[in-house]
Amino acid sequence: MRLPLTWNDSQRFLKLAAAAVLVVSFAGVWWSVTDCAADEAPEKSASLPADNPFAAPSPLPFHAPAFDKIRTEHFLPTFTFGMKQQLAEMNAIASQKAAPTFENTIVAMERSGELLTRVDNVFFNLTSSEKTKPLQTIETELAPLRAAHSDNILLNRKLFERVEKIWQEKASLKLTEEQAELLKQRYESFLRAGARLSDPDQARIRSLNEQLSKLETKFEENLLAIAKERAVVVDTAKELDGLTAAEIAAAAEAAKARGLDGKHLLQISNTTRVPVLTSLNNRALRQRVWEASANRGLGRDGGIDNRGLVLEIAQLRAERAKVLGYENHSAYKLQNQMAKTPAAARKLLTDLVPGVLERVKQEARDLEAMIKESGESHALAPWDWEYYAEKVRKARFEVDEAAVRPYFELNSVLKNGVFFTMNKLYGISFRERHDLPVYHPDVRVFDVMDRDGSQIGLFYADYFKRDTKRGGAWMSSFVDQSRLLHEQPVIVNNLNIPRPAGGEPALISFDNVTTLFHEMGHALHGLFSDVTYPTVAGTATPRDFVEFPWTFEEDWAIQPEILANYARHHKTGDPIPKDLLAKAVSAKKFNKGFETLEYLAAALLDLEWHMLTSEQIPADVESFEAEALKKAGIVHPAVPPRYRTAYFAHIWSGGYASSYYAYLWSEVLAADAFAHMLAQGGCTPENGATFRKEILKRGSSRDPMVSYKAFRGSEPTVDALLIRRGLK
């Protein structure tokens, strides 16, 4: 049985389907139900009411959720029944008299919890994409129940004894490669949960998991409220000088939706920087917007304060690691990742710092020169960086973001860019359908067809920003592929593209263009999955491998042959002028020092927090943050971390604690793989078939480096990454 894990990604917070027994979880905690649940397991005759849409697999194609029948009141009873049902199944596996075998124990565990998986996949997609107050209340109530439920499975000594017996006999079992990997993951998950701990230590682990589940859920709830709280209200359109007419109209509509008729609302993005900072001519307003973003969660002006939550979460994680026998949370978290140790992850980051800082200093000098050229005398501040970077970009490459956007209309980018590339590379096609119910009118649904005409699964696209959706962009799944359970994938991509004013086309930034390709990389990882067991399907891979396919697909967005197919004027249909296209592609590597430094700062901040022991947790969040960045030698007054501690969703509520480095680790693989593919002919069916066979279809059914070497022929080097980021 697989429990899905959602996590935020700046850009890209997505859903990783992972087994409960892999000891990963929603909001970074283990999911479960109370200790007494085993005694309250339902009789075989018990069932959910017939009108509960989760009681049986959905009758829709590929078991897609029946959103026209699902109601808020269905969730809690289904979760309660589903957790009890799975515990009964697990207890039956643990108590059987037959000697443990791979089939009667490991495979039986894979089959368990199908009802819980059905409701999980829908509920946690909704709490990410369309979170209402009632759903938020249920989420809060569920957190400790799910934490206990997982502990009841992973700390079940009889169940562990059966798994351990199979592990000890594995050499004689003649397991397939996938079966051997599944057994390894199952066995290690019990050990990492504390299956061998004493009863008092197991009791402490249960308590810590319960507390963390509540705190991490609270952090996520706060972030949604903070995004609304920190939005900047502007009194007049005159103050928005520099924005396009469409952007000003959208800001007016956003204000009106909040009951602020006649005003304008500038929404705060997921990261520290906010897109409008590139265009606003009003420096005082730029400062207001930047400070509203950078000071989130600090309790300023009577707002929501996340600092106490952060310190408590860090303390409890460090204590849990100690009880489990690890030096700190990072050591625990990275043991089963590709990096293996915090030292290896930290070295990857710090090795780049000197070169990146030199690039940033040069970029800063260019911006300071532009400030003077503009007739200003102020120092370069964080709220100035992107504004003057855009001016330098225009001057150096003679390209204006506003001049480029008309050629990037959302639907054209999706169909003539993303879908076109996927067809060219993998032979798949997307056919929109309008007969399936969706959870919001923004959502679109597509059949995904393979080269031979067979259907792979379904793809849902939810691209516009709204108050009920968390920030960033991510991939998730409603149904995960499994030959054992006869399931084919139902995948969803989420972005947060600003909604255009009524009737206007959605003209998107180049960043959102690449994000569309990026999230499709994750979607393909789920769609192309071709494994037997749900635990190892799709994106259920190590964190520092799962981001590899997105970066790989993202790079197609700037290939000339691909760009030429989708970059067309939304009114005339004329292709983007070759000189403008060439400038836009060249400008893509501009400002990479800034972008890399802000990422490195956030990734190192993550590691510094989670390499602390419980005795080392500081009393003050802001002081620790400043000292941590200073220790890493990464301080620059005009380049703050991409995420500051108080709103760093990845690491406090999104499952990326100690793993934010994974984006760079995965990018090493992606850049190397893309360079290899270009050397082999580029976007060809042959190259796509190899990547699909060795990477995308495998999930975690074998060691990720084995998969990479099967595709590439060797381990990766960092050279292609440095070139990709314009640092070499």
Tens of pLDDT, residues 260-299 = 999 999 998 889 999 899 999 999 999 999 999 999 999 9
Q: If pLDDT is split at 50, 70 and 90, which confidence band does 18 have?
A: very low
Whether 217 is in a domain gets the answer: yes
Chain centroid, CA 107 distance in Å = 29
Contact present, 491 and 460 (Cβ < 8 Å): yes
Nearest-CA neighbor of 442 among 67, 54, 17?
A: 67
pLDDT at 694: 96
pLDDT at 31: 28
Q: Does the pLDDT value for residue 36 go beyond 50? A: no
pLDDT at 553: 87
Whether 26 is in a domain gets the answer: yes
Pair type for strands 444-449 and 429-433: antiparallel
Task: State the residue range of the domain holding 191.
Answer: 20-225
pLDDT at 46: 62
Judged by average pLDDT, the poorest of 100-109, 441-450, 669-678 is: 669-678
Q: If pLDDT is split at 50, 70 and 90, which confidence band does 19 have?
A: very low
Whether 447 is in a domain gets the answer: no
Q: If pLDDT is split at 50, 70 and 90, which confidence band does 725 have?
A: confident
Q: If pLDDT is split at 50, 70 and 90, which confidence band does 471 have?
A: confident
Whether 308 is in a domain gets the answer: no
pLDDT at 64: 98
Nearest-CA neighbor of 658 among 350, 349, 342, 347?
A: 342
Residue at token pair 């409890």: 316
Domain of residue 34, CATH code: 1.10.1370.40
Contact present, 536 and 700 (Cβ < 8 Å): yes
Nearest-CA neighbor of 604 among 573, 643, 576?
A: 643
Our answer to whether residue 210 is catalytic in this structure is: no
Q: Does the pLDDT value for residue 346 go beyond 50? A: yes
Cα-Cα-Cα-Cα dihedral sign, residues 166, 169, 174, 178: positive
pLDDT at 447: 98
Contact present, 123 and 83 (Cβ < 8 Å): no
pLDDT at 547: 86
pLDDT at 397: 85
* Alpha-carbon distance values, 402 to 3, 243, 660, 688 (Å): 43, 9, 32, 34
Whether 496 is in a domain gets the answer: no
- The per-residue b/e assignment along 125-164, b for 16 or more CB within 10 angstroms, e otherwise, is bbbbbbbeeebbebbeebbbbbbbbbbbbbbbeebbebbb
Whether 99 is in a domain gets the answer: yes
Reduce the DSSP state of residue 228 to 3 states and report it.
helix
Question: Which of the two residues, 8 and 657, has the higher pLDDT score?
Answer: 657
pLDDT at 303: 92
Total domain count for the chain? 1
pTM reported for the whole predicted model? 0.86
pLDDT > 70 in the chain, percent: 94
Whether 140 is in a domain gets the answer: yes
CB atoms within 10 A of CB 322: 16
- Average pLDDT over the chain reads 91
Q: Does the pLDDT value for residue 172 go beyond 50? A: yes
Mean pLDDT for the stretch of residues 712-720: 90
Judged by average pLDDT, the poorest of 255-269, 416-430, 571-585, 667-681 is: 571-585
Q: How buried is 670 (Cβ within 10 angstroms: 0-12 exposed, 13-18 middle, 19+ buried)?
A: buried
Q: If pLDDT is split at 50, 70 and 90, which confidence band does 12 have?
A: very low
Beta bridge mates, 206: none
Residue at token pair 């990037």: 408
Mean pLDDT for the stretch of residues 522-549: 95
Whether 47 is in a domain gets the answer: yes
* Alpha-carbon distance values, 318 to 7, 305, 326, 340, 528 (Å): 21, 22, 9, 18, 38
- Of the candidates 110, 181, 519, 547, the residue annotated as catalytic is 519
Q: If pLDDT is split at 50, 70 and 90, which confidence band does 14 have?
A: very low
